[in-house]
């Protein structure tokens, strides 16, 4: 069974264009690391500085813990730390945004 997790992050002021540029194409190595950790889909929408993510993954917490020690992800997170307001520790303890409603 696949989990669908929603996330929210926020860009530092003035980092919108750079964020879009670095996400225009992620590296094959990062793509492979995400897929190895169980991610089947990751979509990001941006409204100004607010980023909304929907991640489809086999096990969200396991994915986060695996990526926490992956050298490719560690390098990617260093780039993201320059762009995002809050650094991500990849502890795997969070469950993303709480679902409030779904059209049945």
Instruction: Domain ranges for the chain, please list them.
Output: 3-83
Question: What's the CA gap between 22 and 14, in Å, rounded?
Answer: 14
Flag whether pLDDT at 20 surpasses 80. Answer: yes
Flag whether pLDDT at 42 surpasses 80. Answer: yes
pTM: 0.91
pLDDT of residue 98: 93
3-83 fold: Alpha-Beta Plaits (3.30.70)
pLDDT of residue 95: 87
Output 86-92 pairs: Cβ under 8 A, ≥24 positions apart.
86/9, 86/10, 88/9, 90/64, 90/65, 91/64, 91/65, 92/60, 92/61, 92/62, 92/63, 92/64, 92/65, 92/68
């Amino acid at each position: 069974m696949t989990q669908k997790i929603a996330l929210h992050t926020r860009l530092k002021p003035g980092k919108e264009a750079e964020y879009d540029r670095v996400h225009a194409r992620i590296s094959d190595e990062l793509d492979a690391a995400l897929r190895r950790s169980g991610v089947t889909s990751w979509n990001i929408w941006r409204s100004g500085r607010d980023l909304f993510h929907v991640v489809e993954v086999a096990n969200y917490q396991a994915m986060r813990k695996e990526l926490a020690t992956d050298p490719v992800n560690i390098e990617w997170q260093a780039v993201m730390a320059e762009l995002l307001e809050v650094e991500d520790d990849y502890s795997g303890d969070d469950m993303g945004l709480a679902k409030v409603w779904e059209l049945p």
